[in-house]
Amino acid sequence: MPKEKPELSDAMRKKLSAKPPEKKPIKGTKFTIAISSAKGGVGKSTFATNLALALKKIDCRVGLLDADIYGPSIPKMFGINEKPKSDGQKLEPIIKYGIQCMSIGFLTDQQTPMIWRGPMVTSAIKTFTQQVNWKDLDFIIVDMPPGTGDTQLTFSQNIKMDGAIIVSTPQEVALLDVKRGIKMFDKLGVKILGLIDNMSFFIGDDGKKYKIFGEGGVKKTAEEFGKDFLGEIPINPQVGLSADGGKPIVEVNPEHEISKIYFEFANKIRSTYLS
C-alpha cells in the first residue's frame, strides 16, 4: 500500500502560503539604480561615480551608495577621508561634489581587510539602506560588488530596485559572469536597463581604434538575452588618473569626450524616470 503523505502542521502551511516580503524603497529616495558587473575589474565603480556626477550636473538630487563591502572604491575615487556623523540612531551621508555618499570605507581604515561572513555583510547592507539619513533624493546609485552573492540577494529580495545597469568589458571571460548576473536579476525580478561595453577600445597616436579586449561581445550578449545595448565607453588614461586623484572625470572636466558619454546616459535615465 502507498504510504500516506504526512499531515502539514498549521505553522508549515502558513509559511508555505505566506507572500514574499514586500520590497521597500530606500527611505528618502525616489529611484534606486544598481550598477553591477558580476565580474571585477571592468570599471563598474568608475561608471557608478561618473554617472552619479552626471546626474547631479543635470539638476538631479543624487546619492551614491558603495555596496562593495569587501572592496570599497568610493572613498578613494571621491577623495573622502572622514567618518560619517551619527546621532546614535542614523548615519549622516557625507556630501561631496553635491552628492550624498555612504561606504563601509568611511567606517574602516583603508588597509583593513573586511573578513566578514555573509550575515555580517547582510547586516551592513541593511544599515546602509535603513539607517542612513538619505534626504530627498531623485536617484540613489548603488555600486554593487562583483559576483552574485549575499549583497545582490539582499538588495534584490528586500529593496525596491528600479533598474540595474550591467557594465562589462568585451572579452569572453568577463561575459561569462555577466550572463550569470543577467539570469540572477531576471530570476529576482529586477529590471535590467541595459548593458554597457566599457574599455571597448582606445585610440592610438595614429588615430586608429585598437580593440584590445575583443569586439562586439557585450552587444551580442545583450541581443542574446533580449536586453538593451546602451553603448561603448573607450579607454582613456585621464579617466583613471582623475579617479585616483579623488576627482572623477565628469567632475574635473565636464567637457571631456568621456564625460559627454556619461551625460548622454544621465539624460536617458532622467527622461525615463522623471519626465
**pLDDT of 32 higher than 90:** yes
**Residue 163: partners with Cβ closer than 8 Å, 6 or more residues away:** 31, 33, 34, 190, 191, 192, 193
For residue range 137-182, what is the model confidence (pLDDT) as tens digits? 999 999 988 766 778 777 878 888 999 999 988 877 778 888 888 9
- At residue 115, the pLDDT reads 61
Residue 16 has pLDDT above 50, yes or no: no
Quick check: helix, strand or coil at residue 271?
helix
pLDDT in tens, 210-264: 777 777 889 999 999 999 999 999 999 899 899 999 999 999 999 999 999 999 9
Residues 150, 68 contacting (CB under 8 angstroms): no
Instruction: State the Cα angle at 214 between 212 and 218, rounded to 5°.
Output: 130
Check pLDDT > 70 for residue 81.
yes
Residue 43 has a pLDDT of: 86
Q: What does the block give as the cell for 258? A: 568621456
Residue 199 has pLDDT above 50, yes or no: yes
Which grid cell sits at 213? 579586449
Of 30, 46, 49, residue with least CA distance to 97: 49
Torsion, Cα 96 235 45 140, to 10 degrees, reads 60
Catalogue all structural domains in the chain, each as residue range(s) with its CATH number: 25-274 (3.40.50.300)
Lowest mean pLDDT among 11-20, 131-140, 206-215: 11-20
